[in-house]
Structure 1
Amino acid sequence: MQKEKLVYNWYAAMVAAGCMVLYGFDAAIFNNVQINKQWLAWFNNPSGELFGLVNTTYSIGAIISGWFIAGPTADYLGRRWAMGIGCFITIIASFVQAFSPYHGIGVFIFGRVLIGIGQGIALTAGPVYIGEITPSEIRGTVMAFWQLFYSVGSFIAYWVNYACGKHTATLGNWSWKMVIVFQILVPIIIIVQLPFLPETPRWYIQRGNKVEAATASLRRVRDSEQEVQDELLAIREAIVFEKEVISGNYWALWKDPTVRKRLLIAFVLNMGQQLTGQGTLNSYSSTIYKKVWTSTNTINLINALNATFGILFTLNAVWTVDRFGRRFLFMVGGIGMACCMLMVALVGLETPNLKGGGKSEPVGIAIVFGLFLFIFFYKPSWGATTWIWTAEVFSMNVRSQAVGMCSQMQNVAQVIFNQFFPTFYQNCGLKSFFFFMSANVVLVIFVWFFVPETKKVSLEEIDVLFGGQNHIEKGGDLLNVDDPRHAAISLDDDGLKSGTEITHVEQPTQEIREH
């Protein structure tokens, strides 16, 4: 690929991936503030149940948004508009949380719901945009940065929190308000750059068959006119087939058995992402570390270092996901995480507690090392690959709705675990890690039997892996195209390539429609 177009393609994808920074930042915020004495005092030391509700309400807002709002928004207004709307709502919600009135925990909870809605929209449009704008041969590599940017968000939040925590006496309540206000930085950057990005060619064809706009979009991110016209033809063929033979609403998710199959698999994978233990650790690692370390600054530093290493570990997906495939990463990651959970539980349970509470420093370091090693296995596998697989397996007619619903199954699982984990951990301590160890083993078995490999398969032909029809070939039949994978290029008077010449194109007959 030409250097300037490759750079621009990566630039457009990275702006979209910035939406994941919002998720990583917000996921770290509550983990930070739950041990901040000023935050606890400002909201009148919320009880255990209310404490869990504050964390859960984000997921409720995201679930509602992902299931019912995000898909239609991305389909009707476009992927860019959906990302912009989600970012704007996130900015408003950040101010609502940061400036909640004294003892006004209800206002803070409302801000949590609102930010869940905004991020639910952005987190649906972002991966769909990346998948539709990126060539299939590097799609996995580019999508790996989606999870990387989650770690970037956590990195920013934890280090800002660590810096503010070092100056609590000077900052007072701003020691937690500043962490929350910092969340507006990335969505502002994204909104400013969205006008300079192309809308996806697939959306242009889907919404009104805007061929010229789709062609112009592809020319900004593809090398040759032949490549542009081949991809444009494949998109048109797939969308014609999907509109004529299938359908494009929520009912299609359940009506078509091949779509239903991949939807259910994606549900399991996305809920499995939380079953690994990562979501719970990200929300309650501070609570876990308090059993080992007594210093808040030490816990903040550990969390910040964890986020820093998370960025480095996620980079492993960049060079592995398109080389070894999605299934390989799922299974290796699951086995590695199971071993880490077993190690942490055994180290914590088989070593004595100190008289003043907590563990000795060598034991604490061993536990922290085990959890860091868990992140090493999680980030490139169930962290990055779950998003990659989910964003690429659905056909155009249901992609935004399906990605929105599947991604929010992570929050469905997180709502459940965030509610019961504090009690579970209080009663069982590190024995609770045996549950996550077992869950990871079960997930590896599930991938082995049910998850097909999607490495380097084009979006328009991925249905074949699940027993469906090839949308390019079937669409080519409907359009009466001689070669469904290669467009004929016509030349203008100056000998320049000027567009697609599809031979023998006819409208689908009534007989085909009825079929």
Structure 2
Amino acid sequence: MPTSKRLYNWYIALVAAMCMVLYGYDASVFNAAQGSDNWLEWFDLDLKADANLIGLVNTAYTIGAIVAGWFFGGPTADYFGRRIGMGIGCLLTIAATFMQAFAPWHNLGCFIGGRVLIGIGQGMALTAGPIYIGEVSPPEIRGQIMTFWQMFYSVGSFIAYWIAYASNAHKATLGHWDWRMVVIFQLLVPSIILVLLPFQPESPRWWIKRHNNVDKAKEALRLIRDSEEEVEYEVLAIREAVEFENEAVGGSYLALFKDPSVRRRLYLAFVLNVGQQLSGQGTLNSYSSAIYKTIWPSSQTINLINALNATCGILFTLNAVWTADRFGRRWLFIVGAIGMGICMLVVPVIGMTTPNVIGAKGTATKTEPVGIAIVFLLFLFIFFYKPSWGAATWIWTSEVFSMNVRAQAVGMCSQMQNVANTIFQQFFPIFLANEGLKCLFFFMATNFVLAVFVWFCIPETMKVPLEEIDTLFGGQNHVEKGGQMLGATDAQDTNPRRNSSEVRQNDITRERNV
């Protein structure tokens, strides 16, 4: 039975994880909005004639997110704190929502400006959120808690698509509010986060790293750790790691490029985050409606499929709760990539080997049974993606960097997803138009290559304390070296999960004397 403090630990981590709802909602809201004839009319757009302009609307968000993730998110989370970083991101999201929902008639520039601003806000929140979760979570359940970070992406999609489905069902009554309703509901979750954030503790690691305030760090840890021994051990480990990083590695972000161990992690995390999008998920999330339109003419049917997809995404992500800390991150990566690769092989094979029929508008399309088979396989793709390259990528990225560069590194790595998406989505519509479902063979090949990459290059981080991650990448143990600098016994030896209470107490006493 979990203790009250462990439950509170889960609660504060889940509040931070709600930042991912912003990402999931916005990634889905444009897919839903561009399916509205009223949205197209309001901004005087034509899906075919203005394809490049519509693509720019989608790209505007990613540009804002990339700029924030690379240049603002890390420094803000490091200087002002993880909670402030999340709060600023939520405030910008709220402001941008009003810009999009109430953009003047035919003023697409205002809507695009809102997309850029919402990207900046989410770039800030998506940098601070996973760092906060990793820093407050015990190592033995860190993977389980971070699973909910990815799950809340699906929650965002769930809310967006079901609102789009309901709005589309009543579009005759709603008029131009059919797309505004989808956009305006983006206010809901960031408003909740802003209300809850001030009442939860700041990261204890930030208190020591930024202010060298041991008392505040202990105060925060006492709210989420079951015993004073655990608090003393963790503070000791953090102090030792910070001491080593400041003296031997350097407290600035230059360590990202000067330290070979950190640089290796940065490159590996870049590949994982780019791979997450080139697996096919990012593109399918933006262009699934375009694929479904080749089979079903009804926008209501397509909205229902997208809503069901988002619903299943929540359930599928929960598989990582019991697998991430049992079988490990590598296992999830490899199994997920192979499963996604097989799905991306079978879908185009079905499309190529089944006959076309002439649809109601005189265009070639597939029969409904073939369409159902394709939808099933795309749902199966999500079954493999969500707990693996969806959840495990965020878990691995948020836990592998040392404290001196963690905020900046996570911001840069997470936004590599948007870098990959921005580049690939510029030519995917043309790819899809020219090759049809055969374009999915590209994703098949990518996923099989990713499985091989993980097998040879990615070390397992399951249940390893954050301060000891460096040893997995050829670096020195920051806790051990920092303990030597402080003249204290290595905090590993005082770990309450490993040794007797007498040994732990002796080491804690020595640390206090120092």
TM-score normalized by the length of structure 2: 0.95
Cα distance between partner residues in 2 of 1:230 and 1:498: 10
Q: Does 1:432 align with 2:439?
A: yes
Match for residue 494 of structure 1? none
Partners of 1:237 and 1:211 in 2: CA distance: 12
Aligned partner letter, 1:442: V
Give the superposition deviation at 1:204: 0.2
Q: Secondary structure at the match of 1:293?
A: coil
Q: In the aligned structure 1, how far is the partner of 2:166 from the partner of 2:308?
A: 13
1:250 Cα shift?
A: 2.4
Paired AA for residue 453 in structure 2:
F
Counterpart selection for 1:177 from 177, 180, 190: 180
Residues 377-416 of structure 1 aligned to structure 2 (within 5 Å): 377-416=384-423
Distance 2:45 2:495 in 1: 69
Residues 320 and 391 in structure 2, CA contact (< 8 A), matched pair in contact too: yes
1:329 to 321, 328, 332: 332
1:255 to 245, 253, 258: 258
Paired amino acid for 1:21: V
Is the CA contact 2:489–2:507 (under 8 Å) kept in the aligned structure 1?
Answer: no
For 2:370, the aligned partner's letter is: V
Residue of structure 1 equivalent to 2:302: 299
Match of 1:202? 205
User: 2:354 corresponds to which residue?
Assistant: 351
Give the corresponding residue for 1:513. Answer: none
Structure 1, residues 23-52: CA drift from partner, whole Å, max 9, x if none?
000000011011110001111115011111
8 Å Cα contact 2:3-2:226 kept in structure 1? no
Q: Is the counterpart of residue 234 in structure 1 residue 233 in structure 2?
A: no
> Where do 5+ consecutive residues of structure 2 fail to align?
497-503
Write out aligned runs for 1:109-148 (5 A): 109-148=112-151
Consecutive unaligned residues of structure 1, counting only runs of 5 or more, are: 490-496, 508-515
Report SS of the residue matched to 1:106.
helix
Relative distance call for 1:406 and 1:437 in structure 2 (3 A) is same
> What's the offset of the Cα at 1:434?
0.3
CA distance in 1, matches of 2:490, 2:287: 56
The one-letter code of the counterpart of 1:61 is G
**Residue 50 of structure 1 corresponds to which residue in structure 2?**
53
**Residue 77 (structure 1) aligned with residue 84 (structure 2):** no
The alignment partner of 2:461 has SS state of coil
1:487 and 1:502 in contact (8 A); partners too: no
Match of 2:381 among 374, 377, 383: 374
What's the secondary structure of 2:322's corresponding residue? helix
- Deviation, 1:468, is 0.1
What's the counterpart of residue 106 of structure 2?
Answer: 103
Q: Mean alpha-carbon deviation: is it higher for 65-74 or for 33-42?
A: 33-42
Instruction: Determine helix, strand or coil for the equivalent of 1:322.
Output: coil
**Structure 1 residue identity aligned to 2:4:** E
Q: Give RMSD over aligned pairs.
A: 1.7
Report the Cα offset of residue 482 of structure 1: 2.6
Q: Distance in 1 between matches of 2:507 and 2:198?
A: 27
Matched, 1:465 2:472: yes
Q: Deviations over 1:205-259 (max 9, x none)?
A: 0112111100000000000000110001000000000001111222110000000
Does the 8 Å contact 1:147/1:384 carry over to 2? yes
CA separation in 2, counterparts of 1:200 and 1:206? 10
Map 1:504-515; keep pairs closer than 5 Å.
none
Letter aligned with residue 414 of structure 2: S
TM superposition shift of 1:502: 4.9
Identity of aligned residues (%): 66
Inter-partner Cα distance in structure 2 for 1:74 and 1:123: 11
Does 2:156 correspond to 1:153?
yes
- Classify 1:2/1:216 alpha carbon distance in 2 versus 1 (closer, same or farther; 3 Å): farther
Distance 1:500 1:215, change over 3 A: farther
Aligned to 2:488: 481
Q: CA deviation at 1:483?
A: 4.0
In 2, are the aligned partners of 1:480 and 1:505 still within 8 Å (CA)? Answer: no
Q: Match for 1:407: what amino acid? A: S
Aligned pair 1:31/2:34, yes or no?
no
Residue type at the aligned position of 2:408: Q
Aligned position for 1:493:
none
Checking the alignment, whether the CA contact within 8 Å between 2:233 and 2:508 is kept in structure 1 is no
1:157-181 alpha-carbon deviations (Å, 9 max, x no partner): 0000000000000000100001000
Query: 2: CA distance between counterparts of 1:506 and 1:206?
Result: 21
Partner of 1:14: 14
Number of equivalences: 500
How many angstroms apart in 2 are the aligned matches of 1:41 and 1:391?
Answer: 42
* Aligned match for 2:424, one of 404, 417, 428: 417
Aligned residue identity for 2:24: G
- The amino acid of 1:465's aligned partner reads L
- Pairwise CA distance, 1:501: 4.6
Letter in 2 for 1:308: T
2:236, 2:511 within 8 Å by CA — same for their partners in 1?
Answer: no
Instruction: Show CA shifts across 1:466-485 (max 9, x none).
Output: 00000000000000113433
Tell me the equivalent position of 2:278: 275
Amino acid of the structure 2 residue aligned with 1:79: R
Q: 1:360-404 CA deviation, whole Å, 9 max, x = no partner?
A: 110010000010000000000000000000000000000000000
2:216 to 209, 213, 217: 213
Give the letter for the 2:481 counterpart: K
C-alpha separation in 2, matches of 1:158 and 1:488: 47
